[in-house]
Amino acid sequence: MNLEPLAGDIKVVVTGPMGAGKTTAIRCISDNGTVSTDVPMSGGPIGDKTSTTVGLDYGTCEMAGGQRLKLFGTPGQERFAFMWDILATGAFGLIVLADNSRPDPIAEVERYLRAFAGRIGPRRTIVGVGRLDTCPSPGLDDYCAHLQAAGFVVPVIDVDVRREADVRLLLSVLVSMAETEPVIPTN
């Protein structure tokens, strides 16, 4: 992949509903540790989830060719949505993570795409769908068809956010979109 058009560090926002794996993805891929604002959940655990992000997650990773990405994870709860504007400022791209085991994951993805549409363009957005192995429906084609009908033509990829190779694939596809648009570095 040719990353020469991308000079400087590239800011990527990782968003999605609570429990979709934003914190896990950033921890999995970061080269030098992460900064996290996770706190215990006020209403007690939900399944295996005992904490939630209230501010941001932050980490960096280097891609093949030396391109450095700055990863900013948003809080998933809408009561912390004021952070979305702050974190999206100056971002090159957006990753929306979905948990396919949730009752209506496609609607959740659409909600996040709409929330960020004015902040980060759709040509710099990708959707990563998790837990397809245990919850195969809806499938990736269902996501694509629904999102396209809603006006969002974005890549949709199966991802296990615990696997570095899967997260790296999401980032690689996102960064490859730079060939179609100029990038403003975040140095």
pLDDT in tens, 50-65: 656 656 889 999 988 7
Whether the predicted pLDDT of 48 surpasses 90? no
Residue 56 is predicted with a pLDDT of: 84
Does CATH place domain 10-177 in 3.40.50.300? yes
Burial class (CB in 10 A: 0-12, 13-18, 19+), 176: middle
Q: What is the pLDDT of residue 5?
A: 45
| Upper half-sphere CA count for residue 64 (Cβ side, 13 Å) | 10
Global pTM reads: 0.86
pLDDT tens for 110-126 read: 999 999 998 887 789 99
H or E segment and range at residue 174? helix 164-176
Handedness of CA 44, 49, 50, 53 (dihedral sign): negative
For the chain, the structural domain boundaries read: 10-177
Task: Give ∠ CA 97-137-108 in degrees, rounded to 5.
Answer: 35
For residue 47 the two structure tokens come to 């399944």
